[in-house]
Structure 1
Amino acid sequence: MKTVWKRRGVAAAVLLLVCGAVYMNWRYSDSVKDNKVLGQSELVNANEETAGDPAPAEDDYFATARLSRKQARDNAIHMLQEAESDENAEESVLNEASQTLQVLASYTVAESQIESLVTAKGYADCVVFIGEDSVSVVVAAPETGLNTADVARIKDIVVNETDYTPEQIKIMEAN
């Protein structure tokens, strides 16, 4: 019985660390300096045709935030898949890893849907971060800034697409 609780604690700790990593990547992604973007690589002697998908520009907060979120989530998924493939893992650990993967997948889908719906309402861009207890939405605000109607409209979208309450939703303007 102790082993089951210990393994559940490990799975919970992994989920907590993943959520923390996603938040930290998002929080500090705009503090990247020296013309480098977190996760950006540079091809030597590459031209436009062979470079593949371009990395986000330094001043493109939204692309950088999405990239950081994706990298953190990919790392978490990789760790969980390794736990699932462990031959010595107990059934409860396998179930916990599978459930966590499903949660991460649902977060990814919901974030994408919310981002699409917010931009469909006329906002230039936005990025969404879903955590266990809250949702953060960063919006490219109109020139006049976000007003209470804008915040209500965005919160309504999040409430309709998730199980979160308005009190769990944070709306922020991108600088």
Structure 2
Amino acid sequence: MTTLIIPGYRGSEKGHWQRQWLAEDETARLVEQDDWENPVLSQWLHVLEAALAETPGAILVAHSLGCVLVSHLARRPSAAHVAGALLVAPADAERMAVHDSKFRSFAPLPRHNLGFPSIVVASRDDPYISFNKARALADIWGAGFVDMQYAGHINIESGFGSWPEAYILADSMRRPQERFRTQRAA
């Protein structure tokens, strides 16, 4: 089962746990946007949907604005190809859009069940979203929730180069799919 790595604004820099995942997992693929500095929802969705068309049944591992991208994808037909999503440190695109117009296309944040297994991972001191809003989004999206306590934006600046727990969380969404296939084959 393929893992699609979906960074947020500016992509995930060298040393970020998403880049390390790509280096360590030969089945992982980066969803490479044409312009990491100027996010446009329609363009980013097109790239993500093309990646899903090539790898149906993928697990999505998103960070920051990438989480918002995945939440917008959930209402589109291509969401049927998502096996699950790990949504780490979602960004508050609504608040970001107030301060910088380049984020307007990502607002408002979708407020509907995603329709596929998902886990939101949030921190109590993330500068890009309040903890309470992240928890509320997890509830609205129908996602599990992991409280990372005081872990900042769960990126390289807050000490998350290598992050083995991310593999465990993503793997928790793979196992039910694999058990189902094994039971059907029996």
Q: TM-score, normalised by structure 1?
A: 0.32
Larger RCO, structures 1/2 (Cα 8 Å, 6+ apart): 2
Task: Give the TM-score taking structure 2 as reference length.
Answer: 0.31
Greater radius of gyration (CA): 1
User: Which is strand-richer, 1 or 2?
Assistant: 2
